[in-house]
Amino acid sequence: MLQLKKIDHLGVAVSDLNQSIATYRDKLGMEFQGVEEVPSQMVRTAFFQVGDVHVELLEPTSPESPIAKHLEKRGEGLHHIAYEVDDIRAALAEAKELGLQPLSEEPRPGAHNTLVCFLHPKMTGKVLTELVEHTAK
């Protein structure tokens, strides 16, 4: 089985990042930690911290982005739950072994010095699962 350390962040698909930043920062009062573009996922992300968990807002930068497809099919909303692991390569190999259908053969660079991979949502109650290893602490 996988060894998950904690929930790292929740990913929320949004169509207007700047407007959503204003809501999360100024109305929900969450600690805004900045915007980062993640070319490997074709998204712009905004990170917020609440306790020791983050919320990641995701806006597509291309119609080919998985987030653009999510917005098209399902509109805005919860996109994924990300869990921290110590060793993403070991977790990916284990996930493959367990039939959890990782969406890529290799981990990919994520926001904030991480390596990430995703598991097919049909395996996990139709919620996309992300595994995250922090490569710089």
* Choice between 45 and 75, CB closer to Co ion: 45
Please give the Cα distance from 111 to 96 (Å, whole number).
23
66 binds Co ion (CB under 5 A): no
Structure-token match 């949004």, residue found: 14
Site for Co ion in 67-106 (CB under 5 A): 82
* Choice between 59 and 130, CB closer to Co ion: 130
11 binds Co ion (CB under 5 A): yes
Q: How far is the CB of 10 from Co ion (least distance, A)?
A: 8
115 binds Co ion (CB under 5 A): no
57, 24 in Cβ contact below 8 A?
yes
Please give the Cα distance from 17 to 43 (Å, whole number).
10
Q: How far is CA 117 from the centre of its chain?
A: 9
Residues in touch with Co ion (CB under 5 A)? 11, 56, 82, 130
